[in-house]
Structure 1
């Protein structure tokens, strides 16, 4: 499993200039959906999200006219012509603010729940909603947290920056897990527990057998400052383990990061 992330500066004029040309790289239905967004920045984020799996397929030797995609009943996208590939590919897309990310796996060991497979990812920017205190923010989602999670978030000695980082790691892990399952809305997040200090995960009070979780963090320097994002990728690989430990993903071969202009230029050059 790996993650490919693309950063986007909302004031990047070059990305806006490449957007129109980039629309020609996706199918007509996707093009129409992207053009319905009221804000152009949302259209660009959506375009990047659609181009990420296409660029992955190109790296696997698939030409654009051989790419077809489908969706499960719950709306999870997947590659529908897996027979053209040497190994199957599972992927999941997420975005928040100025970051779009794709978790993917293309290995012979990928065989659980085809054709979408059990892989999910979620990212969030480290920021409080406007006019909210951290304690008030936690209160809003109180019923989606376990008692242990509330305790590790509201320690009196904990600095707010670390508390916020813990909260978004908890939340992105919950999101990544349910996305990997291919579930829509309605899954009770309080069934999922992430003990951030110990990097341990429990589902319904027990260790989830066969699951791999990798957390990551990256900074995006913009014209108006620096944003920090955290995220978690989740994948069901099968097998058993003594405990489910959340791994730390490093910005190397596991985590690939491009800025939007570079990514779009690559896509247009293929």
Structure 2
């Protein structure tokens, strides 16, 4: 690619995967506009599978702030605790990937306040970020059985605005406008186009 054209248009992307789901987030823009983008995929389940939700949530408390721990209190039903925990962990992972931090980053330095739709890092507001949150439900064949797996997905993209913005994608029509789900066969078909 011509170096002067590269300053005008580039594609920034990030890959994420967990268990049976692989994701790719991408954007196009000028060189400096496409570097801060991150994606996280977190399966909505306990690890190991036979662990109780309460025990699993407690094992993740070191990654959360006291405010975040209050969102997953024992007074909540198990499905709510697990969903909220996975949302917080996915948001944190997407953000640290977008800023280029290693996997050992102390996630408790970040705080996501759902009711107020705010994000903080080291006690300071994270300004200029767009966070998108959605779920993916996929069918996975295990022997003769088709099993549904649910994943919490989150992307973080630096937009440079004054405030951070949260977009909660619950409506499938809205999600279809910017998210595409491909099978392995479909991906293999489009692979040659990605290398052009």
Deviation at 1:123, TM superposition (A): 0.5
Deviation at 1:83, TM superposition (A): 4.3
**Paired position in structure 2 for 1:98:** 20
Three-state SS of the structure 2 residue aligned to 1:246 is strand
Deviation at 1:221, TM superposition (A): 2.0
**Paired position in structure 2 for 1:208:** 126
**Paired position in structure 1 for 2:188:** 264
Q: Which has the larger radius of gyration?
A: 1
**Paired position in structure 2 for 1:186:** 104
Three-state SS of the structure 2 residue aligned to 1:89 is strand
Q: Per the alignment, do residues 225 and 204 of structure 1 end up closer, same or farther by CA in structure 2, a change over 3 Å counting?
A: same
Any unmatched runs of 5+ in structure 1?
1-65, 67-80
Any unmatched runs of 5+ in structure 2?
none
Structure with a larger share of its residues in strand: 2
Counterparts of 2:74 and 2:54, CA distance in 1: 11
**The one of 8, 25, 32 aligned to 1:111:** 32
Say whether the 8 Å CA contact 1:144–1:190 is kept in structure 2: yes
TM-score, normalization by structure 2:
0.83
Q: Residue by residue, what CA displacement relative to the aligned partner does 1:158-205 show, whole Å, maximum 9, x if unpaired?
A: 221121111111001111111001111332211111123443322222
RMSD of the TM alignment (CA)? 2.3
Say whether the 8 Å CA contact 1:169–1:196 is kept in structure 2: no
Counterparts of 1:230 and 1:154, CA distance in 2: 20
Say whether the 8 Å CA contact 2:57–2:81 is kept in structure 1: no
Say whether the 8 Å CA contact 1:82–1:89 is kept in structure 2: no
Three-state SS of the structure 2 residue aligned to 1:176 is helix
**Paired position in structure 1 for 2:9:** 87
- Which has the bigger relative contact order, CA under 8 A and spacing at least 6? 1
TM-score, normalization by structure 1:
0.62
Counterparts of 1:181 and 1:265, CA distance in 2: 32
Counterparts of 2:43 and 2:59, CA distance in 1: 18
**Paired position in structure 2 for 1:246:** 166
Q: Residue by residue, what CA displacement relative to the aligned partner does 1:9-64 show, whole Å, maximum 9, x if unpaired?
A: xxxxxxxxxxxxxxxxxxxxxxxxxxxxxxxxxxxxxxxxxxxxxxxxxxxxxxxx
Say whether the 8 Å CA contact 1:170–1:196 is kept in structure 2: no
Q: Residue by residue, what CA displacement relative to the aligned partner does 1:83-105 show, whole Å, maximum 9, x if unpaired?
A: 45851211110001111111111
Counterparts of 2:63 and 2:4, CA distance in 1: 36
**Paired position in structure 2 for 1:153:** 72
Three-state SS of the structure 1 residue aligned to 2:42 is strand
**Paired position in structure 1 for 2:159:** 237
**The one of 165, 179, 182 aligned to 1:255:** 179
Counterparts of 1:185 and 1:227, CA distance in 2: 24
Moved over 4 A (4+): 81-86
Deviation at 1:121, TM superposition (A): 0.5
Q: Residue by residue, what CA displacement relative to the aligned partner does 1:126-166 show, whole Å, maximum 9, x if unpaired?
A: 1111232222112222221101111111240x221121111
